[in-house]
Structure 1
């Protein structure tokens, strides 16, 4: 590969390195990255990609692709094109395809044809950042509006790859796995992804059945793009570590594994991460018990209980520092102001 420029990206606190590779190098180093993901967008057998396959063989220049890498290099190291190039070359197998899955799939199909020229150039941008949230933000800004891969699908695709649960006590299981085993101490992967979507979009309203799914996906993507991800000092990995710590208390573990509680928690925690990190397990568990006692006084026949629980948990967690000392009826009084 030939590396040309390295430029700081102030939005994602990272760098963009522009390079040129050959089709052969792309097939060797970039195409396998698609297989790293637990799920991926299915190859599209459209007229456009069939035509692109023929054009590649005829000698067109492949449209640029974008590869991302989680990096922890110093600014001085990353600012050097030589150092950035060495880092990319050494760590390319850990990369993610941010933009160009279909093009790489089409390139692989084209490579099976006799007339294919593996020496043709392909332009590639490498996005380097140590923030998983900002990297996902950039992925959504690149792909928003494309089909069939929605913002929620992109988040689900990358959730397992982004977060290393090996050092934590959190277990993620699929819906199919939950049906096969007793998994009372595990998070359902679908619930975890919903929590991440809620965190990124800063909204508990992420699966409104009254809105067409396609429009809901567009709404979520727009919320993520408009959120404060590029400026926040909190990463979702911090939230995961906190959930891991809180789950040491069996009562809190059960409470957090309730989908609506977890979604509300993931939205509210942005405002109170440090306050809850400073609390002991006993203090936080006592505050949650008080919240549940106050919540139990709500007339369930008058509200959408699931939606309300998400919203109130979000507000309670977001204002934890202010509300943690309140007794049941004082907290109930505050809750009625939010309903």
Structure 2
């Protein structure tokens, strides 16, 4: 297997180093083994379309694939401190490149995420499977160009991905966030009390604090776009949402206090605290994706609203304090369940209606800075729907 780091660059906008590299197919396919399964919550892998059939045919003939973009975690990047971030064209020493090369080579498949190139990776694997045994070794020796983002945090990567896709006929925003979900999980896995399930785990929630990664990825999207309904079919609306998300992420990238990252982390911490206060008897409340998404959208709305952003922490502190006394009463779980049963299933999409209800109720609670009970806020939200 062959892998070679050939250069480094620094992106001043997202404040992260990127490594340019070459690898043979064997090294690449080994390092990304399982990535297709890890990303099963994103768009389906295309198996039969004509362009990808043509690509597999071209791969057999020795074509060079467009550069694939990876992210790699937990790399010792001490040698990067030798270089000025203001230097436009970094001339890295071979010794330092070799150190990075060794560190990346030692990384295991779970450290890598495919950011751009999932379909190409699948095409490589399918082509290899189609070859006769004596054809495989020469195939695996062919070279591939890689762009590897070293230890990049979730939010800068989200900004970069959304920006690059914005000028094309893009994947939906949901798909893009799903692709980045591995980075999101890595960013919040240290929150006290959280346990994150991936699709391949085949686990179900049985206690507070347990959430599927797909739910958290959708919650981030709802939080960022300030809307509880994350499945967009209107391309005009989708474009507007992406533009707004880019502006939001872009502003926070330059925020010295890490506003965007800490804002979403704070939301997750609040949910975990309230979930634990409810306990196993009320495990279904935050086990309901519609509740999580509505809650995320409402706190995201307040976080980005000049009037409400100062009320948000006060309101949540009051809610948590009340929840420690009687969580079910503080959150108004009983009245929420009663209101939810009143929806006309023939005239409304139950999930969409419920997400809207949660969004309006939590937003109202924040607007009142916690001075109204959630019981009252549920009633008000139901009258607005």
Aligned residue number for residue 44 of structure 1: 47
**SS at structure 2 position matched to 1:21:** strand
Does structure 1 retain, via aligned residues, the 8 Å contact 2:294–2:356? no
Deviation by residue 1:97-145 (Cα, 9 ceiling, x = unmatched): 1111111222233332528543332110012344223334434445566
Distance 1:328 1:221 in 2: 32
Q: Identify unmatched segments of 5+ residues in structure 1.
A: none
- Is the Cα contact below 8 Å between 2:11 and 2:18 reproduced in 1? yes
The answer to whether the aligner puts 1:133 opposite 2:155 as a matched pair is: yes
Task: Name the residue aligned to 1:88.
Answer: 104
Q: Which runs of 5+ in 2 are unaligned?
A: 84-91, 254-259, 304-308
Match of 1:306 in 2: 354
Find 2:17's aligned residue among 8, 15, 24: 15
Q: Within 5 Å, which residues of 2 pair with 1:1-339?
A: 1-39=3-41, 41-71=44-74, 77=80, 82=96, 83-93=99-109, 94-111=111-128, 112=131, 114=135, 116-142=138-164, 150-156=172-178, 159=181, 162-163=184-185, 168-170=193-195, 183=206, 185=208, 191-207=215-231, 211=233, 221-228=242-249, 230-231=252-253, 232-234=260-262, 236-250=264-278, 255-270=285-300, 271=303, 275=314, 281-283=320-322, 306=354, 308-316=356-364, 319=367, 323-326=369-372
The Cα shift of 1:223 comes to: 4.8
CA distance in 2, matches of 1:331, 1:27: 53
Q: How far off is 1:67 after superposition?
A: 0.5
Q: Answer whether contact 1:266 1:314 (CA < 8 A) is retained.
A: no
CA contact (8 A) 2:322 2:330 kept: no
Mapped to 2, the partners of 1:234 and 1:328 lie a distance apart of 25
- Greater mean deviation of Cα atoms: 215-224 or 113-122: 215-224
Q: Report deviation, 1:240.
A: 2.7
Give TM-score, length-normalised by structure 2: 0.63
Number of aligned pairs? 326
How many angstroms apart in 1 are the aligned matches of 2:278 and 2:121? 46
The change in CA–CA distance for 1:124 and 1:290 in structure 2 (over 3 A counts) is same
The alpha-carbon distance between structure 1 residues 182 and 96, as it changes in their structure 2 partners (threshold 3 A), is closer
1:287, 1:12 → 2: CA distance?
Answer: 40
Q: Secondary structure at the match of 2:228?
A: coil
For residue 50 of structure 1, report the CA deviation from its aligned partner: 2.3
C-alpha distance 51-119 of structure 1, shift in aligned 2 (>3 A): same
- Could you say which residue in structure 1 is the equivalent of 2:257? none
Deviation at 1:160, TM superposition (A): 6.4
Q: Work out whether residues 53 and 107 of structure 1, in 8 Å CA contact, stay in contact via their aligned partners in 2.
A: yes
Q: Check 1:201–1:109 CA distance in 2 against 1; reply closer, same or farther (3 A cut).
A: same
1:163 match: secondary structure: helix
TM-score after normalising by structure 1 = 0.70
Superposed CA offset, 1:145-180 (max 9, x none): 668x64324444654674266963557598xx89xx
